Structure 1
């Protein structure tokens, strides 16, 4: 029985579940912790969040680390770094301490996310990759729910201090990661990976979809939640309840979306996502009801799982030796938006909050146009529906 479970797919499911146990704890406690324990100002939290995004922007560097450490091992080491950063967070309640622990946590987080994508595209069969990625998303949602319950129980019933909750959350990730190191063998990679930066002209559509996906994520993370609090006065508990509903629904819907991608193809699923986002973002701009805003927020979150289709599209067109290097480059491309959108759209918010969401609808419309270029059957040499693009490095 144990031998049958020692498969690459099971390993990725376990690792996908281990990350939220620490990151969700870190994220849930952060705002209260920095105000109550570190006396942060608005400038301090802005600096902290900027530092948190630096490793994501530099994710392409992971390919050079792979010159010395194999991907599977590096993924587990990255999880340990994430957990360690979270464990140390509560012990250093100062600007310098939080900047350093956040940098450690975020480096582990972004390296792991890059390697998780790379390993999934290498290990999962193309015919069922979307299904397995949906299961990974569901495993992450289940773990996030456990993390929320952990924070609630330890803070409200056990009366533990922030430092203990951070230690427990980060420690859980480390224990699971080290257990995976011991219990699972070193799985073979189907193809030897390039250990250099890879940018190919024939992958341009994947890069464009990835960048627009990063922009869409920032609209949700930065501004949708802010709208709920600023305009409709949602409390911390009510926002937490929305997160809980999102993850509960994701447990069921994410695997289904994976099945739909296999059945209907990437272009149809992406088309559905972007039409939905055009309407959702326009809804944010016009909504006057707190209940309707909550419904939009939940629907918006559910669309995230449809982005699996971008990864499976790339899996079908990529040279298998390019996967690891391309995963790092695409993660950096995705984070271009994380650097630009919050600042630029934050200034736009001061002028007109609805314009931020109308701009989001425009970005979704651009993504919809890009999605129409995804072929019915993506293959190397058939990357785009119109024209052919020669390979360039």
Structure 2
């Protein structure tokens, strides 16, 4: 590849304009404008909401190989101090999707000029951070028409050095679900608690009970997490709160455990309604299916990287991270891998600053692998 610095520049352009899920209008237009500069003879471009499909016709196609890159940002106020920091107040590419897009454009550029034997499908997916773009994009008419025979994706990993990737066969990312619980009781004067039903006290009790689920209802050899990250309730210090809201997340390493955890949450909340004489409503918000890597394709990829590149491969452990790419892997064989970017700040941190040399690493690696895979 020539002028890889071009894709670093593209990454910086994209870093300036982070947008939330299904609001990626500037991002989509930037991507479309760049794709239009490529040779169009073998390209077919279709838009879906704020996402994009780009099919590169192969020279002697027998299958379609998919590559997915997510494109949305996060509601995080950037604190990197970079000269190309976010221009959108309160929003940031704090999960590396600017890297994901620039890498995908680098790989797409190569194959626009040097088509592989098989067809390649580049999927620029919106709303990975929420409310979830993978499943509806997968179910779209375009994806059904161009459904890949296999699909792959990467995610930046701040904890690994540049020149390293990490993955494993089987479970890589957990099943995840948001959790919102609203409690409604009876407000009143702080001096007369016996005449009211205090939802602050109720919320505190509920949080304590929820923490018993993992320790007492999940197999100790399995793993699950219930985290309540936010509690809100009440109005002023001398009024008993009529309403309280809990916001959290659930993570499990199996679909069965997710079902069991939710059943226990619902049972406990029913008990809270009776015990504290209140009304409760549960909303699970966005739910992501586990990322489960195809064993044969993943091991084949790891062997290829070891034998044909200078990139180091680490066999990692599964993580409690959530990724809606899992929906695609549930229907299409494939895998996801971590890309080392060597940052002292982790994913979703306001000071995340990945090493841009990883863009070069990923583009070269993916070009080599996709050419090899398409030739089989």
TM over 0.5: no
Greater C-alpha radius of gyration: 2
Higher strand share: 2
TM-score, normalised to structure 1, is 0.22
Greater relative contact order, per chain length (Cα 8 Å cut-off, separation 6+): 1
TM-score, normalised to structure 2, is 0.23
